[in-house]
Structure 1
Amino acid sequence: MDWEIQQDPERLVKTFRFANFQEALAFVQRVGELAEAQNHHPRLTLEWGRVTVEWWTHSAGGITEKDREMARLTDLLLG
């Protein structure tokens, strides 16, 4: 998995790059649909041609297996 681990709180972070804002926005929508289906929601930062996704479990204060699975599923949204 090529996700970075950052601290305060401990979380999985990855920035995805796109050709334009519209493609980035469409990716955010797909991540949102995944999050709703799994009832587990990330922090999303949308910029022109770029989306940063951060997964962690607030109640656990850091990364859980659920977060690792959500990161894996997020990567699959590009395929």
Structure 2
Amino acid sequence: MKKLSDSEVYQALKELKGWILKGNTIEKTFQFNDFKESVSFVLKIQPIADSMDHHPDVCIYYNKVIVQLTTHDVGGLTDLDIELAKKIDEITL
């Protein structure tokens, strides 16, 4: 797995709505009505992440979920992170 260059990361971020670069991660905050919806969202991410064998860092704060993606093995972002971000966005449509 190849670590993306800075220019590749910035190009990918143009295609991702609401994702921001934070160090070696991309992050997005998702807003929901309540805790139940927040947990339900995370449970939808789980099978996608398992199928890709690539798991995000997730924080749940009552009605919001913060998702962070990075590829720890390479110390930064890879195509796998971008692909997972796109798939996570798809389940929020």
- TM-score tier after normalising by the smaller chain length: over 0.9
Alpha-carbon separation, structure 1, partners of 2:86 and 2:42: 15
Residue 68 (structure 1) aligned with residue 79 (structure 2): no
What residue identity is the alignment partner of 1:60? V
Aligned pairs for 1:44-59 within 5 A: 44-59=58-73
Between Structure 1 and Structure 2, the one with more strand by share is 1
Tell me, in whole angstroms, the C-alpha distance in 1 between the residues paired with 2:70 and 2:40. Answer: 22
- The aligned amino acid for 1:11 is T
- Which residue, out of 35, 49, 58, partners 2:49? 35
Structure-1-length-normalised TM-score: 0.93
Which residue of 5, 14, 33 maps to 1:19? 33
The gaps in structure 1 that reach 5 residues or longer are none
Q: What is the root-mean-square deviation in Å for CA atoms of aligned residues?
A: 0.7
Name the amino acid aligned to 1:64: T
**TM-score, with structure 2 as normaliser:** 0.80
Aligned-residue offset at 1:47: 1.1
The code of the aligned residue for 1:78 comes to: T
The alignment of Structure 1 onto Structure 2 pairs a total of residues equal to: 77
**Counterpart residue number, 1:4:** 20
Q: Percent identity?
A: 31
Amino acid of the structure 1 residue aligned with 2:28:
K
C-alpha deviation, 1:33, in angstroms: 1.5
